[in-house]
């Protein structure tokens, strides 16, 4: 599956929820075309909100979000959502049809594609995510890992230029976590991951955008920022586990008489 590439730029973007909570404060950053960028930060830092701004789920209160040459706004939402595919953290938000095949076909059918072309997209997409033959399976009877892959398939079938994934490995067992990482690594196009899993960011990301309390606190090469212990700890994060060195040796086993 091929994808075009597109730059994304945020300029002075702020966003507040209807209850008045300020989620993002004056964010200016760029997501480079054809690269994988991790948006990291502690809980409540604004990661998911930022992803929602990229495909128009949220609209900036101030500032500008630009997808290539397209400014995200009320009058461009259809074009924006064709360009930016968003995979939610919860697969059940994207799986609502009786079968996996119908879920994957839903988006392409709404683009007005013919039945034969849609059927081919469904087959090809399920093959790419390594769920071949799942067309007639009920999404409600899949494992958690299979659901995550199926929800990704519903977005990939739309052939977006930008793929945005919100906490893509949340709740996955090690097998499905590795499977998803390998899949995202193989995909073309611009990829953006919102995550607090810094090992995932180290595995996949070329670049890192670090948020805290709705503010941009760092941006640059992922390999450098993820090794900056002081920076990460200042923003309530830790080095990726595999950069923390060997764990402390276990305490010596006590004999029964030493317990009394």
User: Per-residue pLDDT tens for 85-115?
Assistant: 999 999 988 999 999 999 999 999 998 999 9
What pTM was computed for the model?
0.88
Q: What is the DSSP string of 163-182?
A: EEEESTTTT--HHHHHHHHH
pLDDT score for 1 = 46
Q: Per the domain annotation, does 3 fall within a domain?
A: no
Q: Is residue 2 part of a domain?
A: no
Full residue range of the structural domain in which residue 35 is found: 8-259
Looking at the 3D structure of the chain, how many domains does it have?
A: 1
Q: What is the pLDDT of residues 224-235, one digit of tens each?
A: 999 999 999 999
In the numeric block, the tokens 């805290």 are attached to: 212
112 part of a folded domain? yes
Residues 54-66, mean pLDDT to the nearest whole number: 97
Q: Is residue 205 part of a domain?
A: yes
Residue 76 domain-assigned (yes or no): yes
Q: Please report whether residue 100 resides in a domain.
A: yes
Asked whether residue 253 is domain-assigned, the answer is yes
Task: Write down the pLDDT at residue 188.
Answer: 84
Share of the chain above pLDDT 90, in %: 86
Does residue 31 surpass a pLDDT of 50?
yes
What phi-psi label fits residue 167: left (phi over 0), alpha (psi between -120 and 50 degrees) or beta? left
The predicted pLDDT at position 171 comes to: 87
**What pLDDT does residue 256 have?**
43
Cα–Cα distances in Å, from 63 out to 59, 60, 152? Answer: 10, 6, 30
In a domain? residue 40: yes
Q: What is the CATH number of the domain that holds 63?
A: 3.40.50.300
Report pLDDT digits (tens) over 246-256.
554 554 544 44
């Amino acid at each position: 599956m091929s994808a075009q590439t597109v730059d994304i730029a945020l300029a002075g973007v702020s966003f507040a929820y209807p209850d008045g909570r300020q989620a993002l404060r004056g964010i200016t950053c760029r997501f480079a075309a054809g690269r994988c960028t991790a948006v990291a930060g502690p809980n409540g830092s604004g990661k998911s909100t930022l992803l929602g701004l990229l495909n128009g789920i949220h609209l900036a209160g101030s500032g500008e979000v630009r997808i290539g040459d397209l400014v995200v706004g009320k009058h461009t939402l259809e074009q924006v959502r064709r360009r930016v595919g968003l995979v939610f953290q919860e697969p059940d938000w994207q799986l609502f049809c009786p079968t996996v095949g119908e879920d994957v076909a839903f988006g392409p059918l709404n683009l007005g594609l013919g039945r034969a072309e849609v059927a081919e997209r469904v087959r090809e997409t399920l093959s790419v995510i390594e769920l071949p033959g799942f067309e007639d399976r009920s999404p409600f009877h899949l494992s958690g890992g299979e659901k995550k892959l199926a929800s990704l398939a519903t977005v990939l079938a739309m052939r977006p230029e930008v793929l945005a994934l919100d906490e893509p490995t949340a709740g996955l067992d090690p097998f499905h976590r590795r499977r998803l990482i390998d899949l995202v690594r193989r995909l073309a196009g611009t990829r953006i991951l919102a995550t607090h899993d810094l090992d995932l960011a180290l595995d996949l990301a070329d670049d890192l955008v670090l948020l805290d309390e709705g503010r941009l606190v760092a941006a640059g090469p992922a390999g450098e920022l993820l090794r900056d212990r002081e920076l990460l700890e200042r923003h309530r994060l830790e080095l990726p586990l595999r950069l923390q060195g060997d764990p402390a040796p276990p305490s010596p086993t006590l004999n029964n008489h030493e317990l009394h």
